[in-house]
Chain A
């Protein structure tokens, strides 16, 4: 097992301007194919949104990007996924080390209930390779991550209280801070505002928009307006196929594929 993914973006091979790229990616649940042969680029330092109706495979696709799909039983992946030029599904690649460079935020807030807010945010630091950071360094990182998640001011006085004692929107931002604390190169967001109130949703969207400066963001959402607000490029998936991908402005005003147009204009969804 090689710790194969510590290359900084600049030093990667061909395709270095893409943070991630899938080539012919298919994902299976048992015999059922949920993602069909998808080839897609994710340019560095851009926000790419993936939209589509329920069950079209967008979450499954996303979970292939950090090898979370395979944590479920009876699953299979075909094709290649390049992370800074290296295929993450190649033999000898350790999925755990991949996940330390690719962060993920889930649909529902999942703070660790037995840990304080501070420990939650620092949770990812515990499994990073290398020497353990000092307590002061950890506190610095926690503050930085909470500021990036636009939550610092709200919780700075109760970092040691339980992470379950705050509102759902705040919990989700703790989860985002937790993902940001390890300075991932790519951040995967799976419908991050689906269970949040409108104000929290707005805060998260503003956050996503700002994050492009330091990392690449891929966000799955069933909310087209959200995709239009935060993303640079949008991809539309339908029944496991990647139908169309285009700059966001173009996608929502002049889509090329009739199926895209039908979805966007609300004829189905």
Chain B
């Protein structure tokens, strides 16, 4: 059952997964070969560290982009046909949803694996200075978790009915709009009304922690 669901989602998400794999291969090459300043095969360490930090942003954008597209592609075919086929299958709805979720997570794992493999190969071939080491496995895990969070959010929204999605989107938009209006009129500081929410979201143990830290292929 999972294999069949995975195959269909692979078919729908294949272009973005392949593109993600290609980009996962390109980023470390660009960071280690083109961006970092090197003279006669020796890296200028601050430049190398700077280019790896920039690559970190590239990885985060890649994770976000792949996650969003995979989440949308998971439900697009069902949404076009009002979910009739999936609802007519002899599995509970929650099980079917989890099959789709698992298939999406596995697809995202392919790109994460590519990040780890390509990063590891690129770092292994580069003349790294003594104080710096490559961490492709750590990067791959962080990348995969960083993909799963936006994937989960969008997947959950799309699995719901349109009314629930509207309620959630309108609630968030209202909260943000009211906060900005109050700040613009000087009633409060910019995010004081929702600071507790931003603090929770952006704290080191919050759901966006993956995007706060740097996703460094090479570090001390």
- Same complex origin of A and B: no
Interface residues of A (CB under 8 A from B): none
Interface residues of B (CB under 8 A from A): none
